[in-house]
Structure 1
């Protein structure tokens, strides 16, 4: 009707869209973005990361219901290594349904629950936190589990007032985030990386420091609770000792430890009468006492040491880290303030390119690289590690400088180089079996700074190990005593991961883990075009295991490594050696004494012998007959402390795998810092009493 004004309430007012931008910062450089546009109750999120030639790239569509609870969530794009991402969640009419790479399901639900996304972005943490805060700080999650968010402090970052939260439950480690006064996401952060509101990138270093402080507080509290220390001898009875040098188990024996050293290794016949009243006595119940395992390719984190110790890993070689973070952490590990294994540090050196890994030191010139070598030498690093974007022409002079200063040389094969060339230029060790094998599979113009360093492995299905190309490299490794840090487990995880299935490497532990971690492991990490390509990856991994066995047969030193931090993958790496055809006792030697010898520490670690450090693991059964026995440690000793993995796992939200052994407290002590022996901090109902 012309000339007639409609009532104001009848005029539809469009809702203005609000866009929020965040930057993903690693090692001081922006490597990704999060762009979120909110229109009413709908949010569109574009998430892109380009770091080290890889990174997730996907788009999320979120629909929010009452109480900031998502009622719809879809994600589409690609994951870290280019695998496809397609995920949907919907709550409607009292029913929640979801479908992801990992699983699909539906449940009746009178109100929407909090769905934990399988392929999420930093933005999701803000969604989770807001929904939990509306519920009082904790909420049951879908497909399972529970999420809790705890306010830790209020502060200002620049001119912005924020509240700092810890979010726990879905994953192995907590997340830390900041919400502003309107509960909008300001940042997510850790000790090694930050996602922060665009324009505030200069605050990233301070947030990393805060991340280390907050996570350090949590880890220190757990470390104090699970480390049992005594100022009296610890007498471990009724065990058989594994000797990695001979590959055999002893007759029943007794091992005595005083603080961090083995003082006696005795025959059971020497254990006459009652045990001394002034010693802690542990009954091994006929199990095997073995030296602690080593992970020869790790990246140390604040909380990772707890996982390593619980898995029986007492030594790691750090293959690249944020240098300031690692140098601050190492003395804390040495003092026992933070629980974790003995760490040997390698210094990471990368070249500048669009594909650079943001880690260690990035060198723009050869002089920069040489200065980096000297920097690491001055700080006591054992080796340097060269990475993908490093100029191949720099390897020889940099290796010469490292050797002059007493450092070893290891690393990836730089893009457009070859294993043969880096061996000739001075490498002592090649990192990752795929970095070795790609030299037999790719053309000189292929760019291994991209995900091709994984996807190119499918070509190994047809590899002839007797070919001159292969044998020339193996002969060079023999002649120059070049080792291989295998990380076969991470290749298995990437090449054989399949949506909706539990991989062979995960089946023995995955059901014990938090729901978010369980789902993440049940997905495809590589793009698979068809069934033929799927079969090629399977055949290629079988060929990879053949290479492991061939190299061991030819006398090439193998260093079991993982490129992971859970400890479970160390156990699987050793198991893969056995699947490759290496005898269990030989595989255990490589993961214990062999690793210690490579690190120059064979006189101190790697076997159970008088005078050596008491890096010990107690398992039930005989791992020289059944290698899977190493997956269920009952007790671990390291750095003068006794750890019971069951205690550690309960505090980390993981269902334990094996009960602690029986321990009898000494009648008198001269100090000590422990709960009563025999209880191990557990209540009678088997549940842990947290501090």
Structure 2
């Protein structure tokens, strides 16, 4: 039996009486439940739930790739399942401390979390949306909202949840499970399955699935079900948000960013037909677009579609990317079957999304293995998987933290023999110079490069140390022999880097209760739960001295980016994210590091296209090339942050309006839609 713990010092006698009255009467639920957390077919964690009358205790533990939340929650519920007291403690994804509280008493709801604190008058208890949650919370929200009139409910701190019942399926062991979809909490829906007694059976997700212990064999079926449900949803959005124009049309009165020389030229009219740029002519020659349907750019800037060179594609990421003007991505690791199917859907235009270049994820077996792509147990197994990736159209191999460094030379030889490149993390217990000598063509993440200058022998980067050790960069001398030697090595061997500075900024500098510079330009446009999620501390054991060290070290990181650029190392702007907003921030960070806006923009357009061998069709705005165009409201050469406000996105034969996409996704648009006329009078 669980012993319910109430911190008496927090309550007066009257408060305790009110709380016990709210908890009295009939039990909500009783018993225990254990669920398994699965990723890429392997168990990576658990959820233990104990119900005692109106009290619930939840333990949630995930260890995937050396990281994952470890949470404990104690919840007190009233008869309607509404919380009156909620205590959460533990560690977040990368080990940041969590202490979150919520209570309702005497008509007032009070809360405090990493993100914020506040109170609001609430005549009766309602749902509180936690900032750090477990799968049990997700299921509880669904069950409670489903019981409300219209299956909708306003929640604290803000927002409204809605739930719909989708279908019932039969599973092994004579279990029938009903699928519910909830929207309103975050950027994507939540899918939860309950049995006939409304007991939690599973919580579905794109990269992680939580399922009742003993039913792990249903993983494949439930993963497929999740894919079918989300596929149907995003296909419907594509039909609604993708537009096509028959015949020739024009974008008139636009300035062009020339990604070959970094200048802004115009104004011009651009004629497109069948997804190809047919003509670029000065506005003074207006006769060339007479009688054509047109978009009026109103003096805005046309740039080539942006690239994210470090993506992990999801079903819903396509619309987020397109709305941000990102029309080209490189997927750096995924569920292989999912990615192959997704690209086929994109090619048939049944899904919205950028073009995708596939990289094959290759990880070694260890207690810290990341569950993506293939996890291999031997050198021969690794070589077999390299051949599989080649046969299935992958462009590069991406090596991860737990790979045995001794296997890397054979992996790179096999990949190069097959015409593939090799990129990746620096495996634990080796260094960047050794991996370049072993055949790497590129390095993923600037911290993976810098850790070679910061770590002591034997330190293990399969753990969160690959983040926390970055605070040591505050004392790094960029003129030291070890730094200059590695950068010269990269320049001499033509080794590129995909820095993902934006994700390092987010992890190193995000602080509880504040909005980071990375998120400030867009965050107040987002749903409330996402806003709160972004206001958190990721690094553990944060003191004023450690905070200063991280901030100084991030400045040093930007100085390394500048040094790399100055010495001719190619920068490939990637994000390790899928929202598109982080692509904008990555480019901004290059400018903060010392690149000009034009140089930063070239890295994300022609530079990336040329690196992947696609520059004959992409990367610049020229007659005969694909219509891969993004219309910005402003001039990015004056202010690089103008990339944050696309008004029109053209990807081959398809036309998208970012404002329309954002409204469909529950986001306040950032710029007005561009006007369209069927012809010019």
Structure 1 CA distance for aligned equivalents of residues 432 and 306 of structure 2:
28
Contact 1:193 1:208 in 2 (8 A): no
SS at structure 2 position matched to 1:250: strand
Q: How many residues align?
A: 655
Structure 2 CA distance for aligned equivalents of residues 16 and 289 of structure 1:
59
Which residues of structure 2 form unaligned runs of 5+? Answer: 1-24
Confirm whether residue 142 of structure 1 aligns to residue 156 of structure 2. yes
2:295 to 277, 282, 306: 282
Match in the other structure for 1:469: 482
Confirm whether residue 54 of structure 1 aligns to residue 67 of structure 2. yes
2:90 to 48, 64, 77: 77
Structure 1 CA distance for aligned equivalents of residues 534 and 373 of structure 2:
28
2:236 to 221, 232, 243: 221
Contact 1:336 1:639 in 2 (8 A): no
Match in the other structure for 1:252: 267
Contact 2:54 2:79 in 1 (8 A): no
SS at structure 1 position matched to 2:299: strand
Q: 1:154 to 1:248 in 2, by over 3 A?
A: same
Contact 2:29 2:54 in 1 (8 A): no
- Tell me how far 1:13 sits from its aligned partner: 12
Structure 2 CA distance for aligned equivalents of residues 599 and 495 of structure 1:
30
Structure 1 CA distance for aligned equivalents of residues 312 and 179 of structure 2:
26
Contact 1:240 1:253 in 2 (8 A): yes
Match in the other structure for 1:398: 411
Compute the RMSD of aligned alpha carbons: 1.5
Structure 1 CA distance for aligned equivalents of residues 514 and 646 of structure 2:
26
Structure 1 CA distance for aligned equivalents of residues 113 and 376 of structure 2:
41
- Tell me how far 1:271 sits from its aligned partner: 1.6
Deviations 1:145-180 (A, max 9, x none): 111111111122222111101111110111111011
Structure 2 CA distance for aligned equivalents of residues 295 and 14 of structure 1:
51
SS at structure 1 position matched to 2:243: coil
Structure 2 CA distance for aligned equivalents of residues 440 and 191 of structure 1:
36
- Tell me how far 1:528 sits from its aligned partner: 3.3
Confirm whether residue 665 of structure 1 aligns to residue 678 of structure 2. yes
- Tell me how far 1:418 sits from its aligned partner: 0.3
Q: 1:522 to 1:177 in 2, by over 3 A?
A: same
Structure 2 CA distance for aligned equivalents of residues 303 and 215 of structure 1:
8
Deviations 1:85-106 (A, max 9, x none): 1000111111100000100001
SS at structure 2 position matched to 1:560: coil
Structure 1 CA distance for aligned equivalents of residues 191 and 245 of structure 2:
35
Contact 2:241 2:661 in 1 (8 A): yes
2:374 to 361, 370, 373: 361
Contact 2:68 2:92 in 1 (8 A): yes
Match in the other structure for 1:511: 524
1:151 to 143, 161, 165: 165
2:497 to 469, 473, 484: 484
Match in the other structure for 2:195: 180
Deviations 1:254-312 (A, max 9, x none): 11111221111111122238x433x3211000000010110000000000000000000
Match in the other structure for 2:358: 345
Q: 1:17 to 1:469 in 2, by over 3 A?
A: same
Q: 1:66 to 1:16 in 2, by over 3 A?
A: closer
2:562 to 533, 545, 549: 549
Aligned pairs for 1:528-539 (under 5 A) are 528-539=541-552
Using structure 1 for the length normalisation, give the TM-score: 0.93
2:255 to 223, 231, 240: 240
2:432 to 414, 419, 424: 419
Match in the other structure for 1:312: 325
SS at structure 2 position matched to 1:309: helix
SS at structure 2 position matched to 1:147: strand
Structure 2 CA distance for aligned equivalents of residues 363 and 270 of structure 1:
61
SS at structure 1 position matched to 2:71: strand
2:53 to 23, 40, 51: 40
Stretches (4+) displaced over 4 A? 12-17
Match in the other structure for 1:651: 664
After TM superposition, the structure 1 stretch with the greater mean CA deviation from structure 2, 264-273 or 643-652, is 264-273
Contact 2:28 2:54 in 1 (8 A): no
Structure 1 CA distance for aligned equivalents of residues 132 and 536 of structure 2:
10
Structure 1 CA distance for aligned equivalents of residues 613 and 604 of structure 2:
14
Using structure 2 for the length normalisation, give the TM-score: 0.95
Match in the other structure for 1:680: none
Confirm whether residue 385 of structure 1 aligns to residue 398 of structure 2. yes
Deviations 1:113-166 (A, max 9, x none): 211100001111111011101213111111111111111111222221111011
Confirm whether residue 572 of structure 1 aligns to residue 579 of structure 2. no
Which residues of structure 1 form unaligned runs of 5+? Answer: 1-11, 669-691
